[in-house]
Amino acid sequence: MWMSIDEIQDSVQRKVKKRRYQHILGVRFTAQALAMRFGEDIMKAGYAGALHDCAKYLSDKEMLLACRKRQIFCSEIEKRQPSLLHAKLGAAFAKEVYGITDEEILSAIRWHTTGKPGMTDLEKIVFIADYIEPGRKMLPRMEEIRKVSFQNLDKAMYLILDNTLSYLEEGNAKDKDTIDSYSVDAYDYYKERNGAV
C-alpha cells in the first residue's frame, strides 16, 4: 500500500521552502474540491496535488542531472529552462520515493505545468488547481477563472492557457524561446473545444 497522504505531505514539507509548501497544500485541497465537484477520485486528486511540485527543490543543474540519470528526455526548451523539468521529475520521484504506481496520478503530476491536448479530467484538475489555489497572487481575470473552474474544466483550461501564453509572449525575446510546444498545442486544442477562433 502507498504511504499515507499525510506522511507524504510531511516528507515533502521537509524538502521544500515554506512558501512552496503552502502552495502545495493549496493545490492539494483545491484539487480535491474540484474532484468533488466533477465526480473524480478525491484520493487521487489529493495525492497528485500533494506531490505535484515534489521535485521543485532541485537546482537547474540538479534537474538536468536527475533527468540524465533516469534517461528522461529533455527537449531544447527544457534544457534552456530546466525548471520545466520538475513536472517530469515529480512524476519520477512520486514513483521512486513515494511508491506511487497509479498511472492516473503520475500523469496528472507529469502534465501539471504545460498541459497537453486531450487531457483526462484528473490531469485538468491538477493543472487548474495549480493555477487557482487560494495562495496564488491575483493574476488578470483570476476571479473569472476561479469561478469557471468549478463550472467547466475545458473552458478553464482555455482561459488559463490563454493567460499563460499571452503573459509569456508579452515578455522579452528570451521568454519566447521558453514556451513549451505542449502548451501551444494544448492552447489550440482547448481553444477549438470552446468554439473560440
Q: Which stretch binds Fe ion (CB under 5 A): 51-59, 118-126, 168-176, 184-192?
A: 51-59
Q: Which stretch binds Fe ion (CB under 5 A): 40-48, 71-79, 127-135, 181-189?
A: 127-135
**Amino acid letter, residue 178:** T
**How far, in Å, CA of 55 to CA of 59, rounded?**
10
Residue 145 or 192 having the CB closest to Fe ion: 145
Decide if residue 78 touches Fe ion (CB under 5 A).
no
Distances (CA, A) of 113 to 4, 12, 100, 157, 167: 25, 18, 19, 12, 15
**How far, in Å, CA of 93 to CA of 106, rounded?**
10
Residue 114 or 189 having the CB closest to Fe ion: 114
Decide if residue 130 touches Fe ion (CB under 5 A).
yes
Measured from the CB of residue 126, what is the shortest distance to Fe ion in angstroms?
9
Decide if residue 123 touches Fe ion (CB under 5 A).
no
Decide if residue 53 touches Fe ion (CB under 5 A).
yes
Q: Which stretch binds Fe ion (CB under 5 A): 10-18, 122-130, 161-169, 173-181?
A: 122-130
**Amino acid letter, residue 70:** R
Residue 40 or 114 having the CB closest to Fe ion: 114
What is the size of the binding site for Fe ion (CB under 5 A)? Answer: 2
Q: Are 123 and 108 in contact (CB under 8 A)?
A: yes
**How far, in Å, CA of 179 to CA of 169, rounded?**
8
Distances (CA, A) of 168 to 144, 164, 180, 196: 20, 6, 11, 20
Q: Which stretch binds Fe ion (CB under 5 A): 65-73, 95-103, 124-132, 181-189?
A: 124-132
Contacts to Fe ion by CB under 5 A = 53, 130
